[in-house]
Amino acid sequence: MRRRALSLLFLLAAVAPALWSADAISLKIRQIGLENVYATDNSPTLISFDARNTTMQSMPISLVVDEVSLESNSNSVTTSITLPLVLSPGEERTFRVPLNIIPQNNNKLVIYLEARDVGNLVVGRAARLVDPKTEGQVLGLICSTPELCRGIQQSILLSGSPDEQTYKSRILRMIQLSDPPSEGWAYAPANTMILAAPIARLSEDQRQALEIFVRNGGKLVLIEDQIADGVSSNPGTNPTTAKPSPADFNRMCRKAFFLELYRIRLPFGQSLRVGSGYLVRLPSVTSKEFSTYFRPVGFSQSTPEETRRQFPRDAGGWGPGDFSQPAWLMKRLGTSFRFPTFLEILLWMIGYVLVVGVFNFIVLRRMGRPEWAWFTIPAIAILTSVFLYGTSARHRPRNFNLDDMVVYRMDNLSSLATADAKVRISSPRRSTVEPVIPVDWIYSPPRNLVADMFEGPLTPNFSNTAHVSGFVLDKAWETSLALRKWSFAELNFAGSHRFAGTISRDALGHLHNDTGISFKQAIVVDHSDVFLLGSFPNGETLDLAKVPRREFQKESGRSVSRLPGYPGPPFQCRKPTDSGNRAFTEAESQQMNEEWDNLGAEPFSLLELLRGWSTNGDDVFAENKAVFFGLSDQTGLVPVLRGQSPDRKSASLTIVTFGAWP
């Protein structure tokens, strides 16, 4: 009897995973964001978790990653992610996915993981409460030792007066990253990253992720004695003295140390623009430059003005860059629907009234058959409706359309570019479509319209931007969208791309295209001139002294009462010293509006990207001295519409900024 009881016990232990399906897949959340600090500006947050198959058989499952609210019946508050996979017996895997966390006022939000088998039964769960939104500035620390990180924290917090120390302890949150993410988007929660560890410890992906972080608007502080990669520790004060020749640039891009072409131009304690962010070099944690740079972080109202003037501060009076170029490309080069204008409908109505009036009140009366009006009036109305429908429908698409517009942003010192992409799906009939996007592109959900109004000239959330409730993340990004007849939906994505080289200019004024792609249109703009390059094939060199040029002031300065307006400069500009805007006459405003209205009948020109800029070139190019625009049909997104063979329209715009313009 005892032996039988033991046998039954072993049998129950063996089949326990099958009986208790909720324990078949063990889920464990490892990390949310950067040490539980998540991004709140519509940027993705890293969710890292482990999934382990506790059974003795392979299990095909679907993992769902979501953010739910405890005060609304655990409903989803963000875009959920589904990962289909198969786990072998006893297999454990780690996953890292980008989830957009939406903070709520009540802060009772949970990151929820769920595993379902092929029968849609729940076989595993995990959850973690989301910490309240972090206020103030977030500083991320990558250090060679934990002791060094503690020393950096003390050096930052204990510098300055007691009031400044108290203020810094209130507004700063410093987090130590023992395993820095290898994805650039994962650093979005941080305002500043401090790198104080040997660069050799970081993988190539981790180094590139830090460069993407600074290009996306972050601030990267390098502690040179800790990096120890051989870059000169005594850079010149002239940022152009160490500039390599164009012939050596591609070789240096492939073999250079971490951000070397920027660091050799950057004196200690100063900031250098890299993309939308800043790079800072400091010799050591104990150096005077270190305390000098971080003390202003704690400046409060009690800090004397004479003390403020002794320390460097980020320059004020700068306006944010405009990143609406993908939307403008889609407007000008993407599929659009032409509906009857108000004038056309008015003319149709007048024609209908005239036909009904003449035929029924003149012709039928002369024929002596006025009673036929009971038949002719509805017949004419039906015929008019059919003709109006037919003339309108002839401009409608007969097939699905899939348009993708990509904008790459880089500079003349690096071949790494950040990228924004917009995808438009147009449908000729009511249907459900399934777009498929390469997995290395990160989905950007639509911004809140109210937030757009208060946070600057970012890409607006138009009504055609699709609200995706969930997507599948496998070998590609996939979702499904329901479209009405003659309608379209748009999706936004962000990513990065490493070109073969960049656009550079030598001391002789020759412009070199080493990007690896050919441009069918290209222009270069500085504070006074617009150089019309025409087509600019890969590997070609142009002499700027021999290309046509136009005056910058004549190509900029348009102000229209239309939506969307012309895009602004794609980089930070100095705000005009005078607060007022130029007053246009009624004739000038009418002419500019007519120019905008006639765009549909004209081929796209890169000069359109300049029309919304200020005419003051000294303000526009106060920091970046010139900018290159190149249009190509070689895009990097390559979306697919599952089960369909859509008509395609693709274009890419490459923007290269120049910090120095010889």
Q: Which residues pair with residue 402 across a beta bridge? A: 425, 648
Strand residues in 89-191 grouped as ranges (E): 92-99, 109-116, 122-129, 137-143, 172-176
Phi, psi of 113 (to 5 degrees): -115, 140
Task: Give residue 239's pLDDT.
Answer: 42
| Residue 449: pLDDT over 80 | no
Residue 458 pLDDT class (50, 70, 90 cuts)? very low
Alpha carbons within 13 angstroms on the beta-carbon side of residue 109 total 21
pLDDT grade for 368, boundaries at 50, 70 and 90:
confident
Specify the DSSP element, H or E, that contains 27: strand 25-32
> Pairing mode, if any, of strands 626-632 and 521-526?
antiparallel
Q: Output the pLDDT for position 16.
A: 40
Average pLDDT over residues 201-205: 94
Looking up tokens 């109006």, which residue turns up? 388
- Which one is predicted more confidently, 464 or 102? 102
Give the residue extent of every domain in the chain: 17-129, 137-314, 325-334+399-575+601-658, 342-393
- Contact status, residue 640 vs residue 646, Cβ threshold 8 Å: no
* Cα distances (angstroms) measured from residue 289 to each of 189, 223, 283, 292, 472: 26, 11, 7, 5, 48
Q: Which amino acid is at 334?
A: G
Whether 608 contacts 329, CB under 8 Å:
no
Residues 313-320: what's their mean pLDDT?
A: 65
pLDDT of amino acid 256:
59
How does residue 307 score in pLDDT terms, banded at 50, 70 and 90?
low
pLDDT tens-digit readout, 385-433: 887 777 776 667 789 999 999 999 999 999 999 999 999 999 999 999 9
Crossing angle of helices 146-157 and 162-171, rounded to 10°: 130
Q: Domain spanning 17-129: which superfamily? A: Immunoglobulins (2.60.40.10)
Query: Is the pLDDT at 313 greater than 60, yes or no?
Result: no
Percent of the chain's residues with pLDDT above 70: 85
What are the two backbone dihedrals, phi and then psi, of residue 480, each rounded to the nearest 5 degrees? -130, 140
Q: Are 17-129 and 137-314 the same fold in CATH? A: no
- Look up tokens 């087509």; give the residue: 535
pLDDT in tens, 325-334: 999 999 999 9
User: What pLDDT digit, counting tens, does each position of 137-164 carry?
Assistant: 999 999 999 999 999 999 999 887 888 8
User: What is the sign, positive or negative, of the torsion defined by CA atoms of 115, 118, 122, 124?
Assistant: negative
Other Cβ atoms closer than 10 A to 361: 11
CB neighbours of 483 closer than 8 A, spacing ≥ 6? 425, 427, 430, 431, 432, 433, 489
Instruction: Give 252-305 pLDDT, tens digit per residue.
Output: 444 457 999 999 989 999 999 999 999 999 999 999 999 889 988 877 777 777
Looking from the CA of 326 toward its CB, the CA atoms found within 13 Å total 26
Neighbours of 264 (CB within 10 A): 19
Domain boundaries 137-314, corresponding CATH code = 3.40.50
CA 303/CA 299 separation, integer angstroms = 6
